[in-house]
Amino acid sequence: MSPLSITRTLPADATAAALRADVADGLARTPKQLPPKWFYDARGSELFEDITKLPEYYPTRAEREILLTRAAHIAAATQARTLVELGSGSSDKTRHLIGALTGLDSYVPIDVSESALAAAGEALLTEHPGLTVHALVADFQHGLRLPDTPGPRLLAFLGGTIGNLLPEERAAFLRSVHAMLSPGDALLLGTDLVKDEATLVAAYDDAQGVTAEFNKNVLHVINRELDGDFDPADFDHVALWNAEQQWIEMRLRARTDLTVKIPEVDLAVSFAAGEEVRTEVSAKFREDGVRAELAAAGLELTQWWTDSADRFALSLAVR
């Protein structure tokens, strides 16, 4: 059997149908909103890679520091023979962890981007020829079925991406993780931490404007996929700290009264000057909150590791 297999669990037209539904639903709401998953076409994925290198955007560096210093401890604590990674992308986050998991037999990267999975799978097999890679083209929030690989399994959900889920979505996701794990398996969860507002806002509104470009990219995706006529120049990038919800919000604010036509979903969407569409939330966490959310899903927090500047945390949890 080939050491690299790619299974498509998303029907071919799933993406187009899901985008149409999200746009029709989200832009009809008050306030308007769009799910952040639509940022990540090829251009959006490239812009996010650029964001991870920005001086203001600390999460990627902070998480990498923890992974580098704690990889051996994670390997010893889990004895994982399968590593499943949700939202694996380029798999950069887990390269070092894979090297530390000496008993690893299988790697199961899961992402919506087939091209990212293929590239990452090929690269990893070059570095780890004995590994078997079962790549899944899937949306981890809906109907995920893991391939049958040797246990114990370590399920990694890194980058702080769990912060993109609203509280009720997070609870449902963690319950689905509990259902996927067998006794002896573990979850490795990356969470950005609550900190001063200035640091948080700067990380989502960098001086070079890369995040602004990333935020506006969702307008390009809608224009291309749904024949919309958004003019990104009509919108300003907004990043704000919602202290009540403990999350960063990214929004796009209309500069003038305007109407956008999106014929693929029979929409003509009006924006009043100053009206905003929320394009992402990125929740920030504290240890006791993570412990409680895991416990509510039947998962026990067994390790809480932070970087040396206490900006980001990795949690290890078991059933």
Q: Would the annotation count 204 as a binding residue?
A: yes
Q: In the complex with ligand AVJ, which residue's Cβ is closer, 27 or 47?
A: 47
Contact between 206 and ligand AVJ by CB under 6 A: the answer reads no
Indicate the residue among 113 and 161 with the shorter CB distance to ligand AVJ: 161
Q: Which amino acid is at 150?
A: P
User: What minimum distance in Å lies between the beta carbon of 59 and ligand AVJ?
Assistant: 6
57 is in an annotated binding site: yes
- Determine if 282 is a binding residue for ligand AVJ (CB under 6 A): yes
Strand ranges inside 158-291, DSSP E: 186-192, 235-242, 247-254, 258-262, 267-271, 276-283
Q: Identify any residues that bridge with 192 across adjacent strands, giving them in sequence order.
A: 312
- Closest approach of ligand AVJ to the CB of residue 118, in Å: 20
CA–CA gap between residue 103 and residue 87 (Å, rounded): 23
Centroid of chain to Cα 11: 21
Rounded to the nearest 5°, which phi and psi values hold at 295? Answer: -60, -40
Q: Is 59 in the site for ligand AVJ (CB under 6 A)?
A: yes
Handedness of CA 231, 267, 39, 211 (dihedral sign): positive
Place of tokens 């929409």: 267
Q: Which is nearer to ligand AVJ, 82 or 282 (CB)?
A: 282
User: With contacts defined by CB under 6 A, how many residues of the chain interact with ligand AVJ?
Assistant: 11
Least separation in angstroms between residue 297's CB and ligand AVJ is 20
Residue 252 to residue 250: CA distance in whole angstroms: 7
Instruction: Tell me if 211 contacts ligand AVJ by CB under 6 A.
Output: yes
> Position 24: which residue type?
A
Among 35, 121, 159, 228, binds ligand AVJ (CB under 6 A): 159
Return the residue of 51, 74, 84, 112 that touches ligand AVJ, per CB under 6 A.
51
**Can you say which residues are annotated as belonging to the binding site for S-adenosyl-L-methionine?**
87, 93, 111, 139-140
**Can you say which residues are annotated as belonging to the binding site?**
57, 87, 93, 111, 139-140, 164, 204, 280-282
Footprint of ligand AVJ (CB under 6 A): 51, 59, 159-161, 163-164, 204, 211, 280, 282
